[in-house]
A and B are shown apart, each in its own frame.
Chain A
Amino acid sequence: MIGNLPFVACVVLIILGLYTLIFKRNLIKIVIGLNLVQCGVNLFLITLGYKSDSVAPIYTMAGKEEMVLPTPQALTLTSIVIGLATTALILSFAILIYKHYKTADASKIRRLRG
């Protein structure tokens, strides 16, 4: 348990994000919740690849040949860019909704209630 504290921390971040998604009604807060979940998942991926006493997997002027796993770093890079793209799109929708209804409160907008 105590050795897995980094994983638990990532999961706590995800749970906080889910809580925000479910119980907050402000559009921007919903986007923030989604971002928290994204950050949690990205951190989870990157912590999976850590190996004790190792350096980054780059041979240029490396300290030693013990290296952490490189695949999670590549995956996380991809998923960060994907998260950024989705966030940009969702925020654009939020801007449009705000322009149309003059409010960012989801409970005042018909379809987003419930």
Chain B
Amino acid sequence: MKKYVALAALLVVSGFFLLSAIEMHSFGSPAEEDMDRYFIENAQEETSTNNVVTSIVFDYRGFDTLGEATVLFTAVVGVSLLFRRLRK
């Protein structure tokens, strides 16, 4: 019984995922690209970087990168918390 409920839920969710994949703009031609065009045209001038992706990662979306570095730091602290020595 429980298995069938789980299977039904899986099928419904899969349907939603597939629907979104099929309805998405066709592969290779993005529907809108004004934000990305800004990055490609202005990144060299504003951040003096040749690599546009790096300019996004560290400058335009630097706050995300801070969060990402924090995630990694958190995971390391968490893993070392789990494998700590216990007092006898």
Contacts and interface: CB of A to CB of B under 8 A. Distances in A.
Interface of A: 1, 3-8, 10-11, 14-15, 18-19, 22-23, 44, 47-52, 56-60, 67, 69-71, 73-75, 77-78, 81-82, 84-86, 88-89, 92-93, 96, 114
Contact of B6 (A5, A11, A23, A70): A23
Contacts of A57: 39-40, 51-53
Nearest to B55: A70
Please report whether the interface of chain B is mostly helix, strand, loop or mixed according to DSSP: helix
Nearest to B56: A74
Contact of A15 (B9, B14, B56, B75): B14
Interface residues of B, number: 44
